[in-house]
Amino acid sequence: MKDCPDFHRVPGAGASAGRHLALAWVLGSLSAFGPLATDMYLPAFPKMAGEFGVGQGRIQLTLSVFLLGLAVGQLLWGSWSDRVGRRLPLLAGFGLFVLASAWCAATSSDTLLILARFLMGFGGSAGVVVSRAIVRDLFEAREAARFFSLMMIVGGIAPIVGPFLGNLLLAHGSWRLIFGVLSGLGVLCWGMVWCGVPETLLRGHRLRGRVSSVLGSYGRVLADRHFMALTLVLGCMSGVLFSYIASSPFVFMKIHGVPEACFGLMFAMNGVGFYAGGQANAYLLRRFSEERLLRYGAAFNAVAVLLLVVCTWMGWGGFAVFFGLLFASLATLSFVFPNATALAMKPFAAEAGSASATLGIFQFVAGAAGGALAGVWGDETALPVTLQIAAFALAGNLLLFVFTWKRRA
């Protein structure tokens, strides 16, 4: 598919707006593939640990290295997409994802499974980083924030259907079937890119030169204090999200006694909160600035996680209160991710791929750290992991407060 200058026009009524809406659904699906590959096999954690004869920490490591692959891969895909355009990195990344998923389904070694999960993350990161760069190619800050919110709404379907689909597949086969299905879905995404994603980075806007020019683009991104402050905020909030994702199978099923068949429903309900928050953010952007919604979302998130720690520590309310506060803390993240991303990428039209990659690296490295730490605490009590979630949330709020104060000074 050739370059499509029409996509660079401001969307209005009619065909142009319809094409942008269709593109939002496609890009949302591509960016959601990472969360789907994360969530879909969560119900299988106990069975995988039993089959390989290892502890929960070893199985949670497959999640951490997947997130690490998502982070590291963005270095390649982001800079490459600034040089050759957006479509080729997407096609290459999803091709690698398909092969790595098939390897996961076939392996009989937990060590090889960990390696294959890293390659899955490395390939799947192309969808995350390049989809953000495409949005920056097309929109400025507020419109970009709305577009990111729409993508988040689409992406919110992944955590809703992921555990449900995982449980359904486990009922009819082993955990290996989950990775076989992921491989097939990767083929579907490859076809969506081939048929439905235009080239949004025109040839005249691509970076030229040697490796030094690529390093220079990363240098310009990293030297921007505004960008780095928001990137660190996003990293901390990703720590909140992935600490929850990594610990949820053991906290829900082992500590609180949630039946395996109900785990997908509980996880899906939190996905609904994430989805609803994205819709609310997109609506409120018509009246409020991205920065204001970002500040309020982060502050409400801090309140929710602090209450979560207190109630877990004191044993108040049991699982119902625990789950309700967890729902609130995750829903408020929907006001943080799209607005912080749009504000951070606003100054970088020429280096959108590099900026997107840098954002993703910090997010998924923090997510990998959160997932790995969640496996250290054991499965006797939920208090350590709630303290970990609170530490990430409070660090993000502190960074955002300092960033806002310096901008006003």
Interval 53-59 mean pLDDT: 82
What's the pLDDT score for residue 10? 39
| Cα–Cα distance, 111 to 268 (Å, whole number) | 30
DSSP state of 173: S
- Answer left, alpha or beta for residue 198, where phi above 0 means left and psi between -120 and 50 means alpha: beta
> Helix (H) and strand (E) counts for the chain?
16, 0
Beta carbons of 297 and 339 less than 8 angstroms apart: yes
181 confidence band (pLDDT: 50, 70, 90):
very high
Beta carbons of 325 and 304 less than 8 angstroms apart: yes
In Å, how far are 25, 146, 318, 334 from 21, measured between CA atoms?
A: 7, 11, 42, 20
Q: Which two tokens stand for residue 104?
A: 């996961």
**Dihedrals phi, psi of 201, to nearest 5 degrees:** -95, 100
| Cα–Cα distance, 49 to 51 (Å, whole number) | 6
Beta carbons of 148 and 342 less than 8 angstroms apart: yes
Task: Let me know the angle formed at the C-alpha of 303 by 290 and 228, rounded to the nearest 5 degrees.
Answer: 45
Beta carbons of 139 and 45 less than 8 angstroms apart: no
Say what angle helices 318-332 and 225-250 make with each other, to 10 degrees.
150
| Cα–Cα distance, 245 to 375 (Å, whole number) | 11
CA atoms within 13 A on the CB side of 355: 28
Beta carbons of 153 and 278 less than 8 angstroms apart: yes
What's the pLDDT score for residue 2? 43
Residues 219-248: tens digit of each pLDDT: 888 888 889 999 999 999 989 988 888 788
Beta strands in 189-339 (DSSP E): none
Beta carbons within 8 Å of 102's beta carbon, 6+ residues apart = 179, 180, 183
In this structure, the chain runs to a length of 409
Interval 205-210 mean pLDDT: 66
Interval 309-313 mean pLDDT: 95
| Cα–Cα distance, 355 to 352 (Å, whole number) | 5
Instruction: Please state which of the ranges 77-81, 140-144, 290-294, 315-319 shows the lowest mean pLDDT.
Output: 140-144
Interval 103-107 mean pLDDT: 93
Whether pLDDT at 378 is above 70: no
Residue at token pair 């997510």: 367
| Cα–Cα distance, 125 to 185 (Å, whole number) | 15
Of residues 227 and 206, more confidently modeled:
227
In Å, how far are 233, 402, 403, 406 from 409, measured between CA atoms?
A: 20, 10, 10, 5
Which amino acid, 64?
S
Whether pLDDT at 393 is above 90: yes
| Cα–Cα distance, 132 to 28 (Å, whole number) | 10
CATH architecture of 12-198+212-408: Up-down Bundle (1.20)
- What's the pTM value of the predicted model, to 2 decimals? 0.75
Interval 190-203 mean pLDDT: 85
Q: What is the DSSP code string of 74-112?
A: HHHHHHHHHHH-SHHHHHHHHHHHHHHHHHHHH---HHH
Annotated domain spans of the chain: 12-198+212-408
Beta carbons within 8 Å of 167's beta carbon, 6+ residues apart = 43, 260, 261, 263, 264
What's the pLDDT score for residue 45? 86
Three-state DSSP at 13 gives coil
Say what angle helices 225-250 and 56-84 make with each other, to 10 degrees.
150
What's the pLDDT score for residue 409? 52
